[in-house]
Homo-oligomer: A and B are copies of this chain.
C-alpha cells in the first residue's frame, strides 16, 4: 500500500482559488444540511434576513442586497409566500413593484434558520481558535468587499 493516495498536488493545494472554492463546497454542504432540517434553502435565508434587516422591499432591491438574480428572487419569494413566510403586495406608489414583507411566521422561521446556520459556522471553522476566526472573517470580508465594488 502506497503511503497517501489522497494527498493533493502542491500546485493545487497552495492556490487561494482552490482553497476558497473547495472550502466553499464544505460551507455550502454544512449550511444546506442545516437549512434542510427546517425545510428551507439558502435563497430563503437570504430573502428573510434581508427583509428582517431592511424591512419590506421590492423584489429588485431584495436581489441587489442579497446578491441574487431577479429571476431567482421570483422563485424564492413564490416559495416563501406559499409557506406563509412573506407577503407580496402591489406598491401603490409604483405599479411595477411588489412590496415583499416579512410575516410573523416568517420571523419565527428566520430564528430557526439563524440557529441551524450558527451551528454550521461552528462546524466550518472548528479547527480555528476564536482569534483566528476573527482574522479569517476580516480578511475574507475585505477581499469580498473589493470584488463587490468592481
- Write the residues of chain A forming the contact surface with B, with a CB cutoff of 8 angstroms: 5-17, 19-24, 26-28, 30-31, 45-46, 49-50, 52-54, 61, 64-67, 114, 117, 120-121, 124-128, 132-133, 135-137, 139-148
How many angstroms from the CA of A64 to the CA of B9 in the assembled complex?
11
Q: In the complex, which of the residues B12, B15, B26, B27 contacts A121, with contact meaning CB atoms closer than 8 Å?
A: B15
* B46 engages A17 (CB within 8 Å): no
Please give, as numbers and ranges, the residues of chain B lying within 8 Å of A12 by CB-CB distance. Answer: 45-46, 49-50, 66
How many angstroms from the CA of A45 to the CA of B110 in the assembled complex?
41
How many angstroms from the CA of A13 to the CA of B143 in the assembled complex?
12
How many angstroms from the CA of A49 to the CA of B8 in the assembled complex?
10
How many angstroms from the CA of A133 to the CA of B142 in the assembled complex?
12
A12 to chain B, nearest CB (A): 5
How many angstroms from the CA of A137 to the CA of B23 in the assembled complex?
12
Given contacts A21-B24, A135-B135, A146-B127, contact A141 B13 (CB under 8 A): yes
A123 to chain B, nearest CB (A): 9
* B53 engages A10 (CB within 8 Å): yes
Please give, as numbers and ranges, the residues of chain B lying within 8 Å of A53 by CB-CB distance. Answer: 9-11
